[in-house]
Homo-oligomer: A and B are copies of this chain.
Amino acid sequence: RRCGFGEVIYGEGKDFELIARIIDSQIADAQTSLVTRVHPEVAEKLKSRFPHGHHHVLGRTFRTHLATEAPCPAPIDPSAPIDPSERSFHVAVITAGSTDAAVAAEAIETLTWMGVAVRVFTDIGVAGPQRLIHALPELRKASAAVVIAGMEGALPPVVAGHLSIPIFAVPTSVGYGATLGGLTPLLGMLSSCAANVAVVNIDAGFKGGYLAGTIIRQLENARDHSTPSENSSLKESQ
């Protein structure tokens, strides 16, 4: 089977009734839903109403899968060895500091909802350069990366100096003063001279994950059998 990309609902300021109504109409169309920035209380009500759904507290997400199916694959344990015989495309999600965990969770939940495999690399800040060096051999196996960093946001260009895959940089609002609530890492990531860094909105873990996921999905299609023009038909079927 293939996990389709359903509807994504921006949960900020939406109440339980409105969100439940959208999820219901998605189910009626045999589609899944992903709610981001959902209020904890709303999420708990959604969990009661859609017991097959999954609420991630830190990531503030709620995702549904079609009730008749097993959930989409869970994140790969980063410490587990990768099976070299398998051509399993996956996304690397990399965080600079432990305070970026909530944004990372949003990215991982989005990829999991898309049925895309993820490997997570935490606390790879530029202040501790050894950690990145050690992670490089494993990082090189990914087909796209989501790099999450606040404060000066220096991690994405540093990672990009080592990899030739597309890197989706997610600035976070972590920091104070001159970080301007995330504007500083946002502008820094855009200014980077690294050629393979694209940027999404501040704290937009969802977007970083989603963009990386659309690449993995196309790679799987290309590997398996489909023609390139098929990838776009996904949108039409939505």
Interface residues of A (CB under 8 A from B): 5, 8, 10, 12-14, 18, 82, 84, 87-90, 97-99, 125-129, 139-143, 151-154, 157-158, 160-166, 168, 171, 173-204, 206-207, 210-211, 214-215, 218-220, 222-223, 227-229, 231-236, 238
Instruction: Tell whether, in the assembled complex, residue A166 and residue B127 are in contact, meaning their CB atoms are under 8 Å apart.
Output: no
User: With A188-B188, A215-B218 in contact, do A232 and B87 touch (Cβ < 8 Å)?
Assistant: no
- A34 CA to B93 CA in the complex, in Å? 29
B-chain residues with CB within 8 Å of residue A229 when the two chains form the complex: 82, 84, 140-141
Instruction: Tell whether, in the assembled complex, residue A200 and residue B202 are in contact, meaning their CB atoms are under 8 Å apart.
Output: no
Q: Which of B158, B180, B199 contacts A198 (CB 8 A)?
A: B199
Q: How many copies does the complex hold?
A: 8
Q: Using A127-B157, A196-B210 as known contacts, list a sample of 16 further A-B pairs with CB atoms less than 8 Å apart, ordered by residue number in A.
A: A12-B174, A14-B98, A82-B229, A87-B222, A89-B222, A126-B158, A140-B233, A141-B232, A152-B189, A162-B235, A163-B232, A177-B186, A178-B183, A186-B190, A195-B211, A197-B207
> Of all chain B residues, which has the CB nearest A207?
B195
B-chain residues with CB within 8 Å of residue A181 when the two chains form the complex: 177
A81 CB to nearest chain B CB (Å) = 13
List, sorted by A's number, 24 A–B pairs whose CB atoms are closer than 8 Å: A10-B97, A10-B193, A89-B228, A125-B161, A126-B157, A139-B232, A140-B232, A140-B233, A151-B191, A152-B189, A158-B158, A166-B211, A178-B202, A179-B191, A180-B187, A183-B187, A184-B188, A185-B188, A185-B191, A187-B188, A195-B207, A195-B210, A197-B200, A198-B200
Instruction: Tell whether, in the assembled complex, residue A191 and residue B163 are in contact, meaning their CB atoms are under 8 Å apart.
Output: no
B-chain residues with CB within 8 Å of residue A198 when the two chains form the complex: 168, 198-200, 207, 211
A3 CB to nearest chain B CB (Å) = 14
